[in-house]
Amino acid sequence: MENAPDATLNAIEVQSLTRRFGALVAVDHLNFSCASGATFGLLGPNGAGKSTLIKMLTTLLPPSEGTAKIAGYDLVQHPELVRGKIGYVSQMLSADGDLTGYENLLISAKLYGMPRAERARRIAQALEFMDLAHVSGKRVRQYSGGMIRRLEIAQSMLHRPAVLFMDEPSVGLDPSAKRSVWERIRELRREFGTTILMTTHDMEEADHLCEMVAVMHRGVLAALDTPAGLKAQVGAEATLDDVFIHFTGATISEGGELRDVARTRSTTQRLG
Amino acid sequence: MSLAHEAPLSGWAEPFPGANYLRQTLAVAESDIRKLIHDPVELFTRMVQPVLWLLIFGQVFNRARAIPTGGISYLDFIAPGILAQSVLFGAIFYGISLIWERDLGIVQKFLVSPAPRSTLVLGRAISSTARSLCQMVFVYVIAALLHVQLRFGIFALAGVVAAVMLGSAIFSTFSLIVACLVKSRERFMGIGQVLTMPLFFASNAIYPLSLMPGWLRAVSRVNPLSYQVDALRTLMIMGGSSAFGIGHDFLMLLAAFAVVMAVATRLYPSIVT
């Protein structure tokens, strides 16, 4: 089959991927790859180009130049095939608050063309797995932050994507909700072998979940290694916080553009 | 883009060709309709405007007998216009929900799914038609209470349903186009207000084309609302007559829908960039 993916390839292969907005180069000829089944963390200050990169990899934004292969499919040539292979958990709380948890999952399942019997089975399984079965009939606006995130991850995994993109999955969550989300992410990886690419500002999260971590700064990768390798590059006692500061010259709390800060605050506010 | 690319991607067989397309389109519509069922207040608030127009404007002008209506009472003449108007007013602001859902991240989730872009647009058009049918029932009740000479034949009613649905689909999809172009809620509201009244007054909703100056008549001939009203006037009212011919009305409405669908499908992904 002409469009069949090559199973021997990495799950994500980014090739000279570039995005310009007028004179601004948000993502500048980026090259990296991510092995199948690995969790890849993307660190970087606000405005570093992380969200632009995720938007391109999820087909929401066409690249200005270059391409990427996701699960073997070319992003530029066959975005519609890439979409069938990926899941996406955005930084915003994208579960629909006006629908129930069950309804959110139902609509997702239908969008992915799932037949009725398969739908019922997977939705029941997802609700059970995410510990949401007891609130599935309640509207999502009544859920806690951790429950909403778990629902969103369930939604993005219903069709068993090969690659899952997560934009700051634990932003705004309290420590216990955060740990519960991390636990579910780990279990999903174990169960389905999903490749995960996530952005985060949370160094503990990157340390806990990611095999490979890239530090992005001004549209390029400033560093790429295992968390241990990155720390060793900076110093014997270094933490990922030190790595971040070393490669970006920024402090984590420095913040970014008004729009990024506003979005994070709004997500945090909605999480209560 | 070949059709093979739009086939089910996860190995699920389609029971018939196009089943997946239909399922995805209806899923988009279902999402919105379920929300409406959870919170139907909007349907009730939309009832106020047609009541005012029929009860006050219609009744007063009915007595004035100042407008040539082709042998029917002014209230009979205006009732299809008010139905079309209430559908227009409901549909023309529909696009703001796209901006709202974009801000919440819901649109992005739909866009990263393998559902073809046209299903996302068509699904929204269908959910808008569901709202318009509620409006239709309500306007019929008010019109009946005011003794408007309504037709209740099965074919006449089916024709009214079709005209109402098409009008709603056209204007709600047009509204999506505006949303994709202006991208912010504030600008959308401003433009929505600017568009509504010209669309309404440059149509045959409350006065016949024969009363219009030449330039306004020319404008009204490219306004889909005129064809919707013309079709409704024939199908809804005893003794109502069509100025353009009912076949021509539906042809123009279908053509207008095809144009706005094509444009909206192309622009839809740009709402998130």
Distance in angstroms (rounded) separating the CA atoms of residues A227 and A210: 8
Collect all residues from B whose CB is shorter than 8 A from any CB in A: 1, 4-6, 8-10, 12, 14, 20, 23-24, 26-28, 30-31, 34-35, 38-39, 101, 103-106, 108-116, 269, 272-273
The percent of residues above 90 in pLDDT, for chain A, comes to 62
How far is Cα B58 from Cα B197, in angstroms, rounded to an integer? 18
Q: Which carries the bigger pLDDT value, residue B161 or residue A202?
A: B161
Residue numbers of the domain that contains B247:
9-272
How many independent structural domains does chain B possess?
A: 1
> Which band of pLDDT confidence, cut at 50, 70 and 90, is reported for residue A235?
confident
Contact A125, A161 (CB under 8 A): no
| Residue B245 placed within a domain | yes
**Mean pLDDT, range B74-85, rounded to an integer:** 94
Kindly tell me if the per-residue pLDDT of B124 is higher than 60: yes
Are residues B152 and B235 in contact, defined by beta-carbon separation less than 8 angstroms? no
For the residues B35-49, what does the mean pLDDT come to? 91
Q: Which domain holds residue A30?
A: 12-210
Specify the pLDDT at position B268.
97
Q: A221 pLDDT exceeds 50? A: yes
Residue B166: how many CA atoms within 13 Å on its side-chain side?
A: 25
Q: What pLDDT does residue A8 have?
A: 55
Listing DSSP states for B114-169 in one string gives SS-HHHHHHHHHHHHHHHHHHHHHHHHHHHHHTT--B---HHHHHHHHHHHHHHHH
Residues of A at the B interface (Cβ-Cβ below 8 Å)?
Answer: 3, 55, 58-61, 78, 80-81, 83-88, 90-94, 96-99, 103, 107-108, 110-115, 118, 139, 155, 159-160
Count of domains for chain A? 1
pLDDT band at A174 (very low <50, low <70, confident <90, very high): confident
Chain B residue with minimum CA distance to A114 = B12
What is the average pLDDT value for chain A, to the nearest integer?
88
Minimal Cα distance from B6: which residue of A? A80
Residue identified by tokens 């622009």 is: B267
Task: Answer yes or no: is A17 within a domain.
Answer: yes
Q: Give the tokens for residue A197.
A: 């690419």
Q: Is residue A196 part of a domain?
A: yes
Residue B148 belongs to a domain = yes
Residue A56 lies in a domain: yes
In a domain, A25, yes or no: yes
Pick from A89, A111, A156 the residue to mutate for testing the B interface (most B CBs within 10 Å).
A111
Check CB contact under 8 Å for B104 and A55. no
Whether B18 maps to a domain, the answer reads yes
Dig out the tokens for A135 from the structure.
């609130």
Assigned domain for A142 exists: yes
Residue A33 within any structural domain of the chain: yes
Assigned domain for A267 exists: no
